[in-house]
């Protein structure tokens, strides 16, 4: 026999003996054992000013309840004990222990109560004696050695003794002394670390590793309980149906917090289920209700959880304990709120808006950088390699995957939920995004949902765009962290970026300041440090020239002798493709380390790298696993600018956004078997009571009243009833608006009436205008939508089937058919509808490689502003998919101003909301040109603005674009035959570029009138036989 085999045999024999001894000791009846000494002296338990908090991240590191060395208590903080009252229960049976003691315990900021009988004290005392004997025996197992080592040897201390008198003989007049005896007994036990840290003691006083975490809020009732499997509301989650025989009972530790319950497995400490408090939250007890003797049933929108207690009175305690605690601390979650939302209206909330992704991405990156515990992200599409700050002057530091990896290495937990697309229909490659992120670090967890086959959800998508930092700061809006989204207020069409190439190009007629490759001549030599937004023309200044000059029509020769390329040649960097690539090659980290004397090489930096330079109507994304390879030729095809809106909220509203994410994450975790492993933890919502302790705040936020609203349903969030609070909020705000409504949206599909479309937003707009007409009051509605839907298709041949289908429903809402808004208006007001509502799109132009080019600006916003005091920003489009709740999942916020500024409305003095008005003025400035402080934009209702600024700018711009470029869509094209003739006619941009440039100087901003008559004679729905015609109509609506 080899030496190794011998030692192995010896070790296994020792282990057997150790296990036998452990069992003997555990089952010893120690009533007569009474060792003296060897208890440990208490730690110095003075009340320090601030006990050391247990970090929130401890929820991800729970241990088995019997494992030694687990932190449960706050360091350096005593547990105070008071026995408050004695209830005497009379019974027909002779009960040896008729008195129930209510014990109140206080530990730091936490106070809780437990109810115990004297017999429980006796059992507890015996268990401690057994434990004491057990610890003194040197059993050679690792855990026992650790346990023995953790007990410091101090001065011997006698173990306190329990009163010996039998409970039944204690008279009422002696209750107070009995209470005092039990109080002293427990106080002494809790001063001795050896006993205080024993799992039996923790069970006796009802505490666990999750009891004293500040951000989880006050401590509720806790304890061991038997729970029954099943009860989930979502089909497919319960084993073989609802059969009564088909469940099992398990022992779990139940923890009650202010807005949720959870249970843990005592052996491993793993959190095994989280049940959120919601409007359906309810507790029943009794055999009849629960089909279980001494049963307790807890219901919410997602589950009916059945627990088993060991007596009817025990069940009553649990019910009362949970009910009183939730009603005291979580009452906001028990009711349905305004618009049918799950979230309460939160006053005094810090909020900020974003127009376009430049500032949004920067703030998101800075907030991620400040994260301490958790980052939650959910997107319809996420591209790991996008740059969050541009131009890129610090190598890859601000690339999304690099930020997340850096934070994960610092210990921040990152949870990402991606929409799992139907691969045949969409090319967003969420599988690549998941794989890329998961490979970065074990602290990054990514889920994809839904599984189309198992969940039978083929048609609907997760559409929210959320970034949540430490459950305290939540970004909510329309901007995915994905390719094509980054843009600023200039909406540039070109981004050639290569120094060599740019210098070689001779300008024909116009310099393109809209392009990222601003000509080198424009960089002022003396400027050493310009901000990233710096251009020769500062757009924010009051005396800003109009936007046509900003497009650089007419080129100043002032610095024409100076060439960045020559300058770089001197420094031996002429081989580099772009300044940002030079920067990534040098390790200096900043462009300014080039010491070119220019100070700002912004003009030559690429803003859109690789796949980020895109024009998705021209060509959809391909090969997303090669992020930095171009897929369209940036020297011949302009990019499609992206116009979008987002927001950020703090405090309680951010907690509400996080709660939605947590609900979806926990639902997906139990829904998909691959996520049931412990490596994908359950998430816990932080308490509203600590929501205003902001460790990080986004700059320039203002105080307002905010409510979180959403579209959610059984398939998306695991809830019994669907929620359509965004739809309800839209309709309510439109109906109650007094002066104007401003809408920017990616879609405009509404007007119920023909049983195809169901949402009521279009009808609400029409009815509100008719009400204003009847009352003879001014009322304006501004609608800005994309000129074409965002589907790949060559519009010069009529576009693809998908593109035409969306066009059909957009036109059906606006102006075609008896249910359209204009048809509803014309029936009552005739041609006067033109005084009330305006439909527009956005378009821009540039010079690319010496040629004039134009492209529509893709409006992706989901924004409504009313009366300069109410704003809705979110991910929900105006269509049935987003609004009905049962279809796509969405998230939005409704902001109502509380801080006001003096303004003008309809020619009269008006108190405008700070948040709403500043957002409207920024939107107007971007689409109309000019500055934020343009006095013409101040009053959005008066005739002067509506007719002479808005309508006339849109009409003039549209006419010029038609004249110069013969753009599509166009009112001159009513059918496909006219379309062919239209595109074959010569364009001024090609025939006479100098004259075309002169015409383009007259353009202001980006606003153009929406062409109502484009292809009006064609049937735009998919024709029979095409793959699009096989798809249900709901996909398009």
> How many other C-beta atoms are found inside a 10 Å radius of the C-beta of residue 77?
21
Instruction: Establish whether 656 is a catalytic residue.
Output: no
Pairing between strand 413-419 and 374-379? parallel
Judged by DSSP in three states, 774 sits in helix
Q: What distance in Å separates the CA atoms of residue 665 and residue 667, rounded to the nearest whole number?
A: 5
Contact 747, 762 (CB under 8 A): no
430: left (phi over 0), alpha (psi -120 to 50) or beta: alpha
Instruction: Establish whether 463 is a catalytic residue.
Output: yes
Q: What distance in Å separates the CA atoms of residue 853 and residue 841, rounded to the nearest whole number?
A: 17
By the 10 Å C-beta count (0-12 exposed, 13-18 middle, 19+ buried), 402 is classed as middle
> How many other C-beta atoms are found inside a 10 Å radius of the C-beta of residue 938?
18
Q: Of 379, 763, 867, 897, which one is the catalytic site residue?
A: 867
> How many other C-beta atoms are found inside a 10 Å radius of the C-beta of residue 1027?
11
Which of the 8 DSSP states describes residue 685? P
Pairing between strand 271-276 and 260-264? antiparallel
Contact 73, 213 (CB under 8 A): no
Instruction: Establish whether 462 is a catalytic residue.
Output: no
Q: Of 117, 739, 860, 886, which one is the catalytic site residue?
A: 860
Q: Of 117, 125, 358, 463, which one is the catalytic site residue?
A: 463
Q: Of 215, 401, 470, 939, which one is the catalytic site residue?
A: 470
Residues with Cβ within 8 Å of residue 130, at least 6 apart in sequence: 25, 26, 28, 30, 33
Q: What is the CA radius of gyration of the chain?
A: 34
Tokens describing residue 119: 């017999």
Q: What distance in Å separates the CA atoms of residue 360 and residue 381, rounded to the nearest whole number?
A: 17
Q: CA 440, 446, 447 angle in degrees (round to 5)? A: 160
Tokens describing residue 354: 């974003």
Q: What distance in Å separates the CA atoms of residue 508 and residue 524, rounded to the nearest whole number?
A: 23
**What φ, ψ does residue 722 adopt, rounded to 5°?**
-75, 160
Q: Of 462, 491, 669, 862, which one is the catalytic site residue?
A: 862
Which of the 8 DSSP states describes residue 19? H
Instruction: Establish whether 470 is a catalytic residue.
Output: yes
CA dihedral 344→350→356→362, nearest 10 degrees, is -120
421: left (phi over 0), alpha (psi -120 to 50) or beta: beta
DSSP string of 40-96, one letter each residue: PPPP-----SSPBPPPGGGGGS---TT-TT---SPBT-PEEEEEEEEEE---SS--S
**Closest residue by Cα to residue 439 from 471, 416, 468, 469:** 416
How many Å is the maximal CA-CA distance in the chain?
112
**Closest residue by Cα to residue 750 from 736, 766, 763:** 763
Q: What distance in Å separates the CA atoms of residue 830 and residue 578, rounded to the nearest whole number?
A: 58
Q: Crossing angle, helix 821-829 and helix 801-814, to 10 degrees?
A: 20
Buried-state track 585-600, b at ≥16 Cβ within 10 A, e below 16 = eeeeeebbebebebbb
Q: Of 329, 420, 465, 686, which one is the catalytic site residue?
A: 465
775: left (phi over 0), alpha (psi -120 to 50) or beta: alpha
The sheet with strand 282-285 has its strands ordered as 271-276, 260-264, 249-256, 222-228, 304-308, 295-299, 282-285
What amino acid positions are annotated as catalytic residues?
463, 465, 470, 860, 862, 867
């Amino acid at each position: 026999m080899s030496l190794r085999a011998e030692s192995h045999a010896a070790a296994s024999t020792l282990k057997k003996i150790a296990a036998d001894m452990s069992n003997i000791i555990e089952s010893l009846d120690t009533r007569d054992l009474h060792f003296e000494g060897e208890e440990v002296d208490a730690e110095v338990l003075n009340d320090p000013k601030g006990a050391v908090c247990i970090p929130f991240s401890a929820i991800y590191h729970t241990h088995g309840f019997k494992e030694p060395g687990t932190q449960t208590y706050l360091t350096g903080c005593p547990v105070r004990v008071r026995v408050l009252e004695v209830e005497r229960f009379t019974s027909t049976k002779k009960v040896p222990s008729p008195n129930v003691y209510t014990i109140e315990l206080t530990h730091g900021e936490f106070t809780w109560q437990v109810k115990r009988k004297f017999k429980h004290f006796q059992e507890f005392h015996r268990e401690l004696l057994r434990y004491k004997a057990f610890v003194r025996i040197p059993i050679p197992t690792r855990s026992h050695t650790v346990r023995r080592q953790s007990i410091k040897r101090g001065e011997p201390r006698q173990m306190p003794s329990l009163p010996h008198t039998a409970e039944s003989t204690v008279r009422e007049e002696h209750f107070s002394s009995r209470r005092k005896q039990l109080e002293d007994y427990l106080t002494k036990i809790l001063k001795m670390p050896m006993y205080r840290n024993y799992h039996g003691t923790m069970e006796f006083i009802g505490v666990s590793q999750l009891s004293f975490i500040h951000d989880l809020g006050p401590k509720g009732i806790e304890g061991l309980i038997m729970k029954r499997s099943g009860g989930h509301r979502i089909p497919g989650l319960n084993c073989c149906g609802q059969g009564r025989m088909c469940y099992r009972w398990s022992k779990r530790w139940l923890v009650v917090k202010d807005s949720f319950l959870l249970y843990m497995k005592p052996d491993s400490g793993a959190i095994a289920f989280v049940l959120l408090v919601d409007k359906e939250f309810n507790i029943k007890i009794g055999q009849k209700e629960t089909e279980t003797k001494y049963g307790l049933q807890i219901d919410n929108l997602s589950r009916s959880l059945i627990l088993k207690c060991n007596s009817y009175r025990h069940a009553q305690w649990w019910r009362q304990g949970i009910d009183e605690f939730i009603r005291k601390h979580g009452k906001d979650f028990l009711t349905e709120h305004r618009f049918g939302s799950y979230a309460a209206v939160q006053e005094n909330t810090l909020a900020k808006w974003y127009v376009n992704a430049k500032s949004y991405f920067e703030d998101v990156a800075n907030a991620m950088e400040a994260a301490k515990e958790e980052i939650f992200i959910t997107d319809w599409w996420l591209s790991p390699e996008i740059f969050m700050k541009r131009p890129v002057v610090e190598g890859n530091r601000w690339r999304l995957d690099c930020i997340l990896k850096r934070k994960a290495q610092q210990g921040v937990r990152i949870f990402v939920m991606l929409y799992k697309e139907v691969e045949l229909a969409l090319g967003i490659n969420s599988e690549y995004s998941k794989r890329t992120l998961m490979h970065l670090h074990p602290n990054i967890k990514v889920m994809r949902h839904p599984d189309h086959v198992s969940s039978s959800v083929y048609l609907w998508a997760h559409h929210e765009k959320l970034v949540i930092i430490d459950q305290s700061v939540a970004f909510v809006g329309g901007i995915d962290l994905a390719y094509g989204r980054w843009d600023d207020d200039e909406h540039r069409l070109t981004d050639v970026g290569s120094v060599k190439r740019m210098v070689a190009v001779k300008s024909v007629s116009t310099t393109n300041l809209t392009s990222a490759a601003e000509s080198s001549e424009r960089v002022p030599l003396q400027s050493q440090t310009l901000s990233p937004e710096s251009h020769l023309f500062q757009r924010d200044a009051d005396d800003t020239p109009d936007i046509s000059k900003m497009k650089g029509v007419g080129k100043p020769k002032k610095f024409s002798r100076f060439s960045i390329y020559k300058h770089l040649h001197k420094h031996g960097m002429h081989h580099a493709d772009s300044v940002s690539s030079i920067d990534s090659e040098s390790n200096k980290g900043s462009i300014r380390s080039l010491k070119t004397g220019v100070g700002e090489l912004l003009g030559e930096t690429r803003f859109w790298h690789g796949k980020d330079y895109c024009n998705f109507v021209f060509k959809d994304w391909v090969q997303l696993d090669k992020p930095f390879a171009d897929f369209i030729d940036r020297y011949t095809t302009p990019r499609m600018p992206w116009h979008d809106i987002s927001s950020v909220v703090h405090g309680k509203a951010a907690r509400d956004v996080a709660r939605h994410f947590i609900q979806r994450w926990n639902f997906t975790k139990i829904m998909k078997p691959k996520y049931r492993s412990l490596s994908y933890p359950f998430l816990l919502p932080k308490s509203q009571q600590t929501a205003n302790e902001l460790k990080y705040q986004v700059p320039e936020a203002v105080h307002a009243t905010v409510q979180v609203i959403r579209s959610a349903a059984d398939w998306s969030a695991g809830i019994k009833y669907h929620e359509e609070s965004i739809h309800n909020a839209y309709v309510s705000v439109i109906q109650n608006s007094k002066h104007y409504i401003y809408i920017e949206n990616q879609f405009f599909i509404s007007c119920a009436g023909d049983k195809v479309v169901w949402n009521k937003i279009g009808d609400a707009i029409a009815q509100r205008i008719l009400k204003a007409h009847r009352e003879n009051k001014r009322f304006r509605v501004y609608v800005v939508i994309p000129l074409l839907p965002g589907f790949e298709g060559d519009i010069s041949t009529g576009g693809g089937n998908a593109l035409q289908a969306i066009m059909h429903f957009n036109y059906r809402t606006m102006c075609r058919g008896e249910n359209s808004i204009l048809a509803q208006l014309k029936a009552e007001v005739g041609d006067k509808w033109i005084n009330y509502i305006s439909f527009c799109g956005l378009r821009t132009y540039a010079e690319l490689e010496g040629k004039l080019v134009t492209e529509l600006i893709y409006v992706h916003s989901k924004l409504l502003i009313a009366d300069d005091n109410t704003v809705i920003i979110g991910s929900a489009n105006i269509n049935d998919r987003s609004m009905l709740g049962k279809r796509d999942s969405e998230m939005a916020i409704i902001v109502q101003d509380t801080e006001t500024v003096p303004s003008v409305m309809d020619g009269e003095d008006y108190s405008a909301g700070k948040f709403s008005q500043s957002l409207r003025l920024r939107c107007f400035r971007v689409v109309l040109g000019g500055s934020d402080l343009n006095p013409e934009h101040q009053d959005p209702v008066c005739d002067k603005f509506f007719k002479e600024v808005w309508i006339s700018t849109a009409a003039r711009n549209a006419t010029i674009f038609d004249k110069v470029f013969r753009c599509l869509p166009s009112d001159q094209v009513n059918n496909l035959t006219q379309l062919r003739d239209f595109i074959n006619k010569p364009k001024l941009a090609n025939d006479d570029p100098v004259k075309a440039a002169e015409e383009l100087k007259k353009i202001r901003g980006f606003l153009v009138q929406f062409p109502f008559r484009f292809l009006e004679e064609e049937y735009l729905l998919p024709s029979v036989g095409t793959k699009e015609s096989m798809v249900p109509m709901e996909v398009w609506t």
